[in-house]
Structure 1
Amino acid sequence: MFASVTLGAHAAAVDEESRGELLYTTHCIACHTTHVHWRDQRLAKDWNSLAGQVRRWQGNAGLRWDDEDIAAVTRYLNTLYYHFPAGSEEKTISMRSKAR
């Protein structure tokens, strides 16, 4: 039983990471090369500002992402480029996901 719960949680985390990558590569990569994430004047300085930029740009693009989509893309970008400690929004979303 424990193994199936652990595997289920792992599969959910992988699906969430894949979703963030899929959303980013489908909707954002055309304008955002890796250079935008490494530039000196980047606007993402911590987890919350990264999430704010994801929210801002998905709105500018008219994508209508929900909070979970924004969190998935933020998590993907953070894992790939930024490595910021999780912010309060991330902790709240993670707690909601575990409660399901």
Structure 2
Amino acid sequence: MTIQKWFAVLVIALWGLPGPVAARTKTDALRGELLYSTHCIGCHNSQLHWRDRKAASNWASLKAEVERWQNTSGLGWREEDVTDVVHYLNNLYYRFPEPQADGASTAEATAPAHPR
């Protein structure tokens, strides 16, 4: 078999393997839960997230709230940390439409947060 055929077989074989995005999905959810339970649960309980006057009304406002509180607490989280916690909270409580993987977003996910 020639080098080109071996290369083609290798590319086809690797094509079906899960990539880094698929591999990080479960890790991201676990990291979000760990960060939230370590740094946030002391002041927040589930009532905060489902009460009538909750601050988050869409994906963007939920992310803004997580960002705001991690800054207030001086946690120094990276963008990935904030996003992991937002994913965790959204999956557990809110169920807001999430931005699409290609960077495009649904209209509700990118709508500005309601002013306080």
**TM superposition score category, shorter chain reference:** 0.7 to 0.9
Identity of matched residues, %: 43
Give the root-mean-square deviation of aligned CA atoms: 2.0
Count residues with an aligned counterpart.
90
Aligned to 1:12: 24
> Is residue 2:43 matched to residue 1:31?
yes
TM-score w.r.t. the length of structure 1 is: 0.80
How far did 1:12 drift? 1.2
Question: Runs of 5+ in structure 2 lacking a partner?
Answer: 1-13, 104-116
Which has the greater radius of gyration? 2
- The one-letter code matched in structure 2 to 1:72 is D
Corresponding letter in the other structure for 1:78: N
TM-score using structure 2 length: 0.70
Offset of residue 2 of structure 1: 4.3
Structure 1: 5+ residue stretches without partners: 93-100
Identify the structure with the greater helix proportion: 1
Q: Which residue of 2 aligns with 1:70?
A: 82
